Amino acid sequence: MRMERTLITDLPNHIEHSVKIAGWINTRRDQGKMVFFDIRDASGTVQGVVLPKSAAFEAAKEIRSEFVVSIEGVVNKRPENNINHNVQNGDIELEIQAIQILSIAIDLPFEREAEVNLDTYLDHLPYTLRKGKAQEIFKLQATIIEAFRGSLRNQRFIEFQAPELVGTDAEGGAAAFEVKYYYDKKAYLATSPQFYKQIMVGVFERAFTTTKAFRGEKHSTTRHMSEYATLDFEMGFIEDHRDVMATLETCIRHVIAEVTKKHTDTFKLLGAELPLLPESIPIFKLQEVQEILETKLGMKALGEPDLEPEHERQICQWAKKEYNSDFVFVTHYPVSKRPFYVFEDEQNPGFTKSFDLLFRGLEITTGGQRIHDYDVLVDKIVKKGLVPENFSFYLQAFKAGMPPHGGCATGLERITARMLNLPNIKEVTLFPRDLNRIDILLSDTDDEDKNN
């Protein structure tokens, strides 16, 4: 009878019994005639030992780090003086009776847990993603996205699939990548699901999507990529942008509760602190932020249409001290800096009912109330120098009656990066794409011969 695989984390339930485990060899240590292996699977690690008399002794000879193996053995309690309290399963040991090599590891560029620079890390992602730290980062990211979705579902939102191929780069400016579509027609990659989520307000009232956005700006920074994951929602029947902010705050609170529950070890491993989130996130108008920057922090800021990255860092540090919050809402960006569909504040002409959410110095969310009146919207399109005809599909939603609505977009990689205090967005993106790289450096693919 074939023995079922036991997960390494479950071994303590099998003391003095035979088990089969499967996984990767972390390390091999030869000690006299005995061979010790640290073995890992997705659930954890355990030490195994091959004794000289073991039938597995021959097979063990050729096994090195990263070999994939299936092992049968007996789970033994360790004697008191051999217990290692600092590692998982430090009080047991697997006495190995048989080893089967499932796959050999060849040509490893460096040790799995080696600290390498970012370029080397990115060059070898299929291997470097196996580092403990990388595994933890992306498990936490999976928790973030699911907690975000879960909170929205709890708040009556329905998920939808936003299209990523779009017909025109109607808004311009955002540098959409061009796609060679059928019969040499042009299509574009979506720079955001904005128009579609607004259309979905007419269908579901509250709609969300977790999708990709593509931006072709020639940024080479620690916070930009050409493809990124965006958590987008849009909701109808709002009073103003503050309803959107309240919904987002509920999501953020749930995300933090979930990562706190499941990933405190990850925070420890990465030396990051759990985010500070007071009873309510402080809210300032852009102009108020600029006044604080000038009067309290001695920076030049007033009169600018937007915040510089350094402004965002400074106001967040200040808010952390003053409000015990790692988050700050900034509202009322000027009309000139926001897209045509953003709602102008009747009480503050020239400024919009828009907001950014800053988290530990970085903008992670942009949102606001949208225009819902057809005539006003067409007028704004024209005023931005755009052509209403190019928006005919989108505008149908407004001809059919749209409630007051708003929404926002949160960058998954950005929230992950700030959550774990990692400086570069590329460390929190499994397979980052930028100016120079799609998996491998792009200069490497210049040679046409290699592409056919």
Where in 183-242 is the site for a copy of itself (CB under 8 A)? Answer: 185-187, 189, 196, 199-200, 202-206, 211-212, 214, 216, 218, 226-227, 229, 237
Among 163, 173, 305, 350, binds a copy of itself (CB under 8 A): 163
* Candidate ranges 89-97, 268-276, 291-299, 392-400; the one touching a copy of itself (CB under 8 A): 392-400
Least gap, CB of 282 to a copy of itself (angstroms): 24
Burial of 291 (0-12, 13-18, 19+ CB in 10 A): middle
| Helix, strand, or coil (residue 258) | helix
Q: Which of residues 253-292 bind a copy of itself (CB under 8 A)?
A: none
* Candidate ranges 84-92, 278-286, 300-308, 384-392; the one touching a copy of itself (CB under 8 A): 384-392
* Candidate ranges 99-107, 244-252, 290-298, 318-326; the one touching a copy of itself (CB under 8 A): 99-107
Q: Which of residues 102-161 bind a copy of itself (CB under 8 A)?
A: 102-108, 124-127, 129-130, 134-135, 138-139, 141-142, 145-146, 149, 153, 156, 158-161
| Angstrom distance (rounded) from CA 239 to CA 363 | 24
Q: Does 15 bind a copy of itself (CB under 8 A)?
A: no
Q: Does 57 bind a copy of itself (CB under 8 A)?
A: no
Which tokens in the block code for residue 383?
Answer: 């005023």
Least gap, CB of 197 to a copy of itself (angstroms): 11
- In the complex with a copy of itself, the residue whose CB is nearer, 260 or 445, is 445
Q: Which of 181, 203, 174 is nearest to 386 (CA)?
A: 174
Q: Does 66 bind a copy of itself (CB under 8 A)?
A: yes
| Angstrom distance (rounded) from CA 20 to CA 77 | 17
Which tokens in the block code for residue 390?
Answer: 């190019």
Q: Does 243 bind a copy of itself (CB under 8 A)?
A: no
Q: Which of residues 398-417 bind a copy of itself (CB under 8 A)?
A: 398-404, 412
| Angstrom distance (rounded) from CA 62 to CA 101 | 10
- In the complex with a copy of itself, the residue whose CB is nearer, 61 or 153, is 153
Which tokens in the block code for residue 289?
Answer: 């932020």
| Cβ-Cβ contacts under 8 Å for 37 (sequence gap 6 or more) | 25, 26, 27, 28, 29, 47, 48, 49, 50, 60, 63, 96
Q: Which of residues 332-351 bind a copy of itself (CB under 8 A)?
A: none
DSSP string over 372-405: --HHHHHHHHHHTT--GGGGHHHHHHHHT---SE
Least gap, CB of 187 to a copy of itself (angstroms): 6
Q: Are 422 and 137 in contact (CB under 8 A)?
A: yes
Q: Does 24 bind a copy of itself (CB under 8 A)?
A: yes
Spacing of C-alpha 262 from chain mean position:
16
